[in-house]
């Protein structure tokens, strides 16, 4: 039986990872120490580097090492569209589609009152400030200000879970009064799926939103 010190400490630390229980953690620890010492050191360095260098983008709130992330500072992005997502992972999924060229705003969470996560815990105020700044610059309606690529459409791409839907609803309510177009990702039948195996709620939404 290994001593409770280093190996046990490593197993406990690995359990901090989401989806890793004590058995997986033990398997990971033993694997690293038996077969992949360089991998373990690489992971240790990557963790330290990420913790020390990663912060939130001042514009879109995503994780980045710069004050303004690569997406926000890219001149190629369409600055009239702002896509609101819950996490950087959701953002990465949208980026992989190559179907969206606008900017993002990453909430870093979702409204979840039962867990004590309200508008302050996620980036809602930062989002509203950003859109408000855009709306203000729109009020004089100088075509140049609009042409200056400010937010004209907010696309809500929070998850289609209860919390994600609630978050989308709150954002939509708050933004509609500010004169910004607010849209939501389409609900419907996933590509490649057979109707027989799709859940009823999805089919009902696909019927209502038919085009």
Tell me which residues touch a copy of itself (CB under 8 A).
Answer: 1-3, 5-7, 9-10, 12-14, 16-19, 24, 26-34, 36-37, 39-51, 53-54, 62-66, 69-71, 87-89, 91-92, 95, 108-109
Determine the Cα–Cα distance for residues 94 and 51; give it in Å rounded to an integer.
Answer: 25
Tell me whether residue 62 or residue 138 sits nearer to a copy of itself (CB atom): 62
Q: How far is the CB of 202 from a copy of itself (least distance, A)?
A: 22
| Residue in the structure block whose two tokens are 């369409």 | 78
Residue 100 in tokens: 């969206």
Give start and end residues of each alpha helix (H) in 36-159: 37-53, 70-73, 88-97, 124-138, 143-147
Closest CA to 127 of 157, 147, 97: 157
C-beta closer to a copy of itself: residue 92 or 148: 92
Please give the distance of CA 83 from its chain centroid, rounded to a whole number. Answer: 10
* Helix (DSSP H) and strand (DSSP E) numbers for the chain: 9, 6
| Other residues' Cβ atoms within 10 Å of the Cβ of residue 194 | 7
Token digits of residue 117? 């996560």
CB of 187 to a copy of itself, least distance (A): 23
Residue found by looking up tokens 């105020």 in the block: 125
Q: For a copy of itself, which is the closer residue by CB, 55 or 176?
A: 55
Residue 76 vs 143, nearer CB to a copy of itself: 76
Nearer to a copy of itself, 36 or 209 (CB): 36
CB of 65 to a copy of itself, least distance (A): 5
Return the structure tokens found at 56. 């939130």
Name the minimum Å distance from CB 139 to a copy of itself: 32
Q: What is the closest distance, in whole angstroms, from the C-beta atom of residue 22 to a copy of itself in the complex? A: 10
């Amino acid at each position: 039986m290994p001593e409770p010190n280093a190996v046990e400490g490593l197993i406990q630390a690995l359990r901090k990872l989401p989806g890793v229980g004590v058995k997986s953690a033990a398997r990971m620890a033993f694997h690293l120490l038996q077969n992949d010492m360089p991998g373990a050191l690489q992971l240790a360095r990557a963790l330290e580097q990420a913790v020390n260098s990663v912060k939130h983008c001042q514009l879109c709130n995503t994780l980045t090492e710069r004050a303004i992330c690569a997406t926000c500072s890219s001149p190629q992005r369409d600055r009239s569209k702002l896509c609101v997502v819950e996490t950087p992972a959701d953002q990465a999924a949208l980026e992989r589609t190559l179907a969206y060229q606008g900017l993002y705003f990453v909430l870093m969470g979702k409204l979840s009152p039962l867990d004590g996560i309200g508008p302050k815990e996620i980036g809602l105020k930062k989002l509203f400030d950003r859109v408000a700044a855009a709306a203000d610059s729109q009020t004089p309606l100088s075509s140049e200000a609009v042409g200056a690529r400010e937010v004209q459409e907010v696309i809500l791409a929070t998850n289609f879970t209860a919390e994600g839907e609630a978050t989308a609803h709150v954002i939509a309510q708050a933004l509609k009064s500010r004169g910004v177009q607010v849209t939501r990702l389409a609900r419907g039948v996933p590509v490649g799926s057979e109707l027989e195996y799709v859940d009823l709620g999805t089919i009902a939404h696909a019927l209502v939103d038919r085009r």
